[in-house]
Structure 1
Amino acid sequence: MTRAESEPIDCRTAVQRLWDYLDGELDAVRLAEVTAHVERCAACSEHMQFARTFLSALSASRAEVADATALRARVVSALQREGFSSTLHVR
C-alpha cells in the first residue's frame, strides 16, 4: 500500500510540492498525493489556481520587459483580473 492510499498529505505538504507538481517534477506517488489533496481541499485548490494563473501571467509577460517594477505590476494586474486578492494563506 502506498502512502497516498493509507495516509493523505496535509495542506503544508501539498503547497510545498505545488511548484514541482506544476512543473511535472514529482514522481507518480507524490503526484497522486497532491492531486488527491487538491481535489478535496478548497484552500489548496485555490493555491493551485493561483499558481496556474501566476505562471500564465508570467509567461504572457515575458516580452522584453527591462523594468522589473513594470513586470510585477503586469503580473499583479493579471492576477487581480482573475479575481485573486493580494493575500492567500497556507493552513
Structure 2
Amino acid sequence: MPLKIESIKVAGTKYDGRAKLSEDQRQAIRILAREGYSQRKLASMFNVSKRLIQSIITPPIRTPAKKRTKEYWAEIKKRYRDRKNNLYKSGKIQFKKK
C-alpha cells in the first residue's frame, strides 16, 4: 500500500525547489534591466519574486570561508570556558538541574 505522502504534489507550489526560469528568461531579464525596467516590473512580468530578479541582475558574491587551525579553535573554546567559569564563580549563572 503506498504512503499517503506519495499522493501529495509539490510541483507548481511555492515549495517547488526546481528552477523557475530558463537561461533564456534570465538573459532577457538582464537585457530588460539594462534598458531601464524596474525590478518590481520584471518580477511581475516573469511571475517570480523581486529577490530572484535582484539575484539575477547582481548575483551575490560568495567568499570562501576562512580556514582556521585547530589551535585557533582550541583558544576560542578555552576563552569561552574561562568566561563561563568566571560567571559561575561570581554567582551570575548556575547549573540547571534536570
Give the number of the structure whose residues are more often helix, by fraction: 1
TM tier, shorter chain? under 0.3
Larger RCO (alpha carbons 8 Å, 6+ apart)? 1
Q: Could you tell me the TM-score, scaled by structure 2's length?
A: 0.24
Larger-gyration structure (1/2): 2
Q: Normalization by structure 1: what TM-score?
A: 0.25
